[in-house]
Amino acid sequence: MPDAAQDVKVDKLVGERDFWRNKAEQFMEVSRSAAVFERSFVIRQGSMKQRKQYHELARFIKSEEIARREALGRRYLAEKTLAAETAEFEIPQDIAHASIDLSHDQLVKDAVSEGLRSYQDAIASGREFLSKDSLQFLGSAGKPFGADSAIFKLATSPLLLAPVIRYFGMFPIMTGFGVTLAKNSEFHRKSSQRLHFDPEDRAQLKVFLYITDVDADSGPFMAAAARDCEVLFERPDFVLDRQEDSVLPDGALHEYHGPAGTIIFTDTCRCLHGGGRPGERERVMLSMEYNMPTYLGAKLWEGDPEPERCRTKNIRVDNPDEFMEALLAHPKAG
Ligand SMILES: O=C(O)CCC(=O)C(=O)O
Ligand SMILES: [Fe+2]
């Protein structure tokens, strides 16, 4: 075998590698601290500093819309007949996740039956569903769950909206909902099985409804208190990568176990969360998503060239009242 080693100047190569690595790191530092208004960039790879800047700017630009939604929220709570179970239910701001067993409530029972049917139909049809690593998407807003579905009725009911309005201090936008199936058979390192923050805003609420009974062996949803996660945000270069469980203090991760009909409110932007990890049984869960107008799916200003992300666009409601219009926030035509 010819001896090729003498042609390779390892020291020189290592020197060059280190030189370019340093350059790349300097560049990343500069680009990460630059202000960005490109929503698709911020949502995918914005640093914590950029996210803070973006959402502060969005709060400023949208101050009128926010004031309108604050007033609408107050009126909703005063005018609507609230459901006894959640009329006083608070999601504590410092913890930012909380659950309630609503398995006896008729709206919830109907949504559970509908979700379960979509699961049984999925099995019977043998169809392949859209999937993202650990989750399969069995159905979503308008596909097939329209305005007359039990799931839509639940997602737009005072039962869920009252705690959401109180948490945000304003009337929300419902940005989507869907039924997921977690097979809980494999572990995917880049999936929502590992702990993560969602990227859409500095705060948002996902309301999860267990459609099957969930225990330690059926991939429970897990979340940590917002106050135990804040420390990660203090680094301006923090990016929203998947985290190891060990970043949290011992015992900080709460596993939600409960019967079908259990509702879990979670601020998935402030709380590290995950679920659907390998276990003995599958899990079917409905996720309903609520945002403030500052979220990264909405245009930042009128002429913002990036399209709005409107995952409720297939839902048509006849004669919506002002609350329903605000909830769906469908972009105006033209
Ligand atoms: O499937 C789970 O338990 C986690 C889902 C999740 O991370 C999310 O919906 O944001
Ligand atoms: Fe998530």
Rounded average pLDDT over 177-199: 95
**Global model pTM greater than 0.85:** yes
Q: How confident is the model at residue 1 (pLDDT cuts 50, 70, 90)?
A: low
Strand partners, 274: 222
Q: How confident is the model at residue 239 (pLDDT cuts 50, 70, 90)?
A: confident
- pLDDT computed for residue 245 by the predictor: 95
Q: How many distinct helices (H) and strands (E) make up the chain?
A: 9, 11
Q: Look at 3 and 272; give whichever has higher pLDDT.
A: 272
Query: Would the CB of 279 count as within 6 Å of ligand 1?
Result: no
Residue 71 has pLDDT above 90, yes or no: yes
pLDDT in tens, 82-108: 999 999 999 999 999 999 999 999 999
Residue 236 has pLDDT above 60, yes or no: yes
* Atom 2 of ligand 1: nearest residue by CA position: 275
Domains of the chain in start order, with CATH, are 41-328 (2.60.120.620)
Query: Would the CB of 283 count as within 6 Å of ligand 1?
Result: no
Alpha-carbon distance of 323 to 328, in angstroms, equals: 9
Mean pLDDT value across the chain: 93
Candidate from 41-45, 85-89, 261-265, 282-286 with smallest mean pLDDT: 41-45
pLDDT in tens, 7-49: 788 888 888 888 988 888 887 777 766 777 899 999 998 888 8
Tell me the percentage of the chain whose pLDDT exceeds 90.
77
Query: Would the CB of 262 count as within 6 Å of ligand 1?
Result: no
Residue 142: partners with Cβ closer than 8 Å, 6 or more residues away: 312, 313, 314, 315
Strand partners, 173: 291
pLDDT in tens, 104-149: 999 999 999 999 999 999 889 988 788 888 899 999 999 999 999 9
Buried b / exposed e along 92-111 (16+ C-beta atoms within 10 A): eeebbbbbbebbebebbbeb
Ligand 1 atom nearest 192 alpha carbon = 7
pLDDT in tens, 143-163: 999 999 999 999 999 999 999
Between the CA of 278 and the centroid of ligand 1 the distance, in Å, is: 14
- pLDDT computed for residue 6 by the predictor: 64
Mutate to test the pocket of ligand 1, among 191, 207, 221, 262 (most ligand atoms within 8 A of CB): 221
Between the CA of 201 and the centroid of ligand 2 the distance, in Å, is: 12
- pLDDT computed for residue 334 by the predictor: 52
Minimal CA–CA distance to 271: which of 206, 175, 326, 316?
Answer: 206
Rounded average pLDDT over 182-208: 95
Query: Would the CB of 136 count as within 6 Å of ligand 1?
Result: no
- pLDDT computed for residue 188 by the predictor: 92
* Atom 9 of ligand 1: nearest residue by CA position: 287
Residue 65 has pLDDT above 60, yes or no: yes
Query: Would the CB of 182 count as within 6 Å of ligand 1?
Result: yes
Alpha-carbon distance of 257 to 276, in angstroms, equals: 12
